[in-house]
A = this chain, B = another copy of it.
Amino acid sequence: MPTSQLDQQFAFLCEIDQLKNVIRQSPLLDQSRKENSAEHSWHLAMYALLLKDYAEEEVDISRVIQMLLIHDIVEVDVGDMPIHQTSSGGSQEVLEDVAAIRLFGMIPGMQGTELLALWREFEQSISADAKFAKALDRVQPLLINIRTDGGTWTENGVTLEQVLERYGPTTKRGAPALWERCEQWVQQHFAAREP
């Protein structure tokens, strides 16, 4: 008996349960443990819902939320690539695309095709929706670091200049008003650490 469309959808929903075991570098705000990519995705969707009015261009917030819900699903196959890790020279991007094809390929019909396209739109970061989603994906971990005495910056010996370079352009492009506030926090954080 062929697997029904519904059973294929349920199989995908079970497969992505593994995202709850993909551990990121960022801690929870109470620093009791590291954050996982499933709860990070929920938190980002909440960021989008609350902060939609700060998008640089007009966005479809429903699409932004959907993008953020699925943006890390490839990590089920390839794990998380921390922002402060040395570049993979493009190999991570290829592996992530292969993972996206496998995972969204589990979803039958046009639905799988559409979600693959939405994931690639996020990765390409050209559309207004994707640029805003990418900006939020910088703001959330930045705020965690601000609230946890430097978090992954302190751990990795990241400098003020590196923070401005790694978070600034992406955040500013999608949500300039958010970057303005973030930059104040960043400057205050590093000023307070000066000897």
Contacts and interface: CB of A to CB of B under 8 A. Distances in A.
B14 A147 contact: yes
Q: Which of A10, A19, A36, A49 has the most CB of B within 10 A?
A: A10
Interface stretch (A24-32, A85-93, A159-167): A24-32
B14 A29 contact: yes
Q: Which of A20, A28, A41 has the most CB of B within 10 A?
A: A20
A14 B66 CA distance: 21
Interface in A3-48: 6-7, 9-10, 12-14, 16-21, 28-30, 32, 35-36, 38-39, 41-43, 45-47
Interface in A140-183: 140, 143, 147, 177-178, 181
Contacts of A181: 6-7, 10
Given A14-B143, A62-B65, 15 more contacts: A6-B54, A6-B181, A13-B46, A13-B47, A13-B143, A14-B29, A16-B43, A17-B29, A18-B29, A19-B39, A21-B28, A21-B30, A36-B39, A38-B43, A39-B39
A111 interface: yes
Given A21-B30, A54-B6, A62-B65, A38 B47 contact: no
A14 B145 CA distance: 12
Contacts of A107: 50
A98 interface: no
A68 to B, nearest CB: 10
A46 B13 CA distance: 7
A111 to B, nearest CB: 7
Q: Which of A49, A50, A115, A178 has the most CB of B within 10 A?
A: A50
A101 interface: no
Nearest to A44: B42
Contacts of A43: 13, 16-17, 20, 38
A12 B49 contact: no
